[in-house]
Amino acid sequence: MSAPLLEIQELRMHFPVRTGVFRRATKWNRAVDGVSLAMQSGETIGLVGESGCGKSTLGKCIVRLLQPTSGRILFEGCELTALRQRQLRPLRRQLQMVFQDPVESLNSRHTVGEILSEPFVVHHLGDAGSRRRKVHELLDKVGLPSSAADRYPFEFSGGQRQRIGIARAIALEPRLIVCDEPVSALDVSIQSQVLNLMLDLQREMKLSYLFIAHNLAVVKHISDRIAIMYLGRIVEFADADDIHLHPRHPYTQALLSAILPPDPTHDRQRIILQGDVPSPINPPPGCPFHTRCPHATDRCKSDVPTLRVAAPGHQVSCHYDF
């Protein structure tokens, strides 16, 4: 196996919870709490979990929109976490992000042409003429007419705006794109169009994706491997088909059983988890999932399970085998 494109080692992102008159940090929100992950070039890793599990925070740490508390992020062997913002700039060409809400992530006062030429301006690439050509190329690549360049984001539908967001992300021909819930705000019939576009672009440009989403069916479709997160940690990491067919962690099993297939004849045993996800400010001791786990034992209440190899290429963080 070649050297990984992206390697995350023991990453932690703890946000201070400030209280009192002096705004002292009395508690910490452990949004990401010791995540390690390696990603190969050209691969798509899906990152799945429920709200508050830290998946978006992890994505933001990777593109350094957040400075992690501790841990290392290596991109092509270069340690991102040690770089200053200025040193980071050349690397940013390789590392882009697509956001969930294309309304908020596109500047509404700029035309689409201005939005798409900005990456070239920031990185001092080309002149006005070549940038214009590039913008038209990009629009064509994501399936929008070149007339779109002179229009404003609000003139487009949600799906088209997400295409603009994707065009901006691929403008500098990056190697890795972190996609944070890129299709969850879109209508069903538009979702599949955008997913197809992402698959086409990946093949064409040899992109790697870190695909963050809560919808396991969508993630399974687009990913090579899937990491399941719960309360700031990865609880299971395996090949996408393996996750679907042989889930080993009780949480993954519950997530899979909670998917409602569009088929009324589908008969399945549903695992309904009791209670809510605990707060990452005050996570339970032992296994973070033990408060909702149907198989929890006394050991789970005190011993923290580590991510272990349960089968070739299949890591799981549970004391037991299910």
* Total residues binding other proteins (CB under 8 A): 49
Q: Does 273 bind other proteins (CB under 8 A)?
A: yes
Site string for other proteins, 82-121 (x = CB under 8 A): ----------------------------------------
Residue 255 interacts with other proteins (CB under 8 A): yes or no: yes
Q: At closest approach, how far in Å is the CB of 271 from other proteins?
A: 8
Query: With respect to other proteins, which residue has the nearer C-beta, 8 or 254?
Result: 254
Token reading at 44: 């798509």
* Residue 272 binding other proteins, by CB under 8 A: yes
Q: What is the dihedral of CA 277, 283, 284, 288, to 10 degrees?
A: 60
- Applying CB under 8 A, the span of 32-40, 236-244, 283-291, 314-322 interacting with other proteins comes to 236-244
Q: What is the footprint of other proteins within residues 45-64 (CB under 8 A)?
A: 50-51
Residue whose structure tokens are 């009791």: 274
Name the region of 28 (left: φ>0; alpha: ψ -120 to 50; beta: rest): beta
Chain residues 137-166 in contact with other proteins, contact rule CB under 8 A: 157-160
Q: With respect to other proteins, which residue has the nearer C-beta, 217 or 311?
A: 217
Among 23, 84, 124, 266, which residue sits at the site for other proteins (rule: CB under 8 A)? 266
Closer to other proteins by CB, 33 or 43: give it.
Answer: 43
CB of 199 to other proteins, least distance (A): 6
Q: Give the CA diameter of the chain.
A: 68
DSSP β-ladder status, 208-213 and 176-180: parallel
Smallest CA-to-CA distance from 101 within 32, 49, 159 is with 159
The stretch among 25-33, 92-100, 170-178, 256-264 that binds other proteins (CB under 8 A) is 256-264
99-120 burial by CB neighbour count: b if 16+ within 10 A, else e?
A: bbbbbebbeeeebbbebbbebb
CB atoms closer than 10 angstroms to residue 133: 11
For other proteins, give the closer residue by CB, 126 or 158. 158
Footprint of other proteins on 180-209 (CB under 8 A): 187-193, 195-196, 199
Instruction: Kindly tell me which of 16 and 294 has the beta carbon lying closer to other proteins.
Output: 294
Orientation of helix 112-122 relative to helix 128-141, angle to 10° = 120
- The rounded distance, in Å, linking the Cα atoms of 249 and 228 is 9
Name the CA dihedral angle for 111, 112, 114, 117, rounded to a multiple of 10 degrees. 180
Using the contact rule CB under 8 A, the part of the chain among 3-11, 173-181, 211-219, 296-304 near other proteins is 211-219
Q: What's the half-sphere exposure (Cβ side, CA atoms, 13 Å) at 195?
A: 22
- Residue numbers of the site for other proteins (CB under 8 A)? 44, 50-51, 157-160, 187-193, 195-196, 199, 214-218, 220-224, 240-241, 244, 254-266, 270, 272-274, 276-277
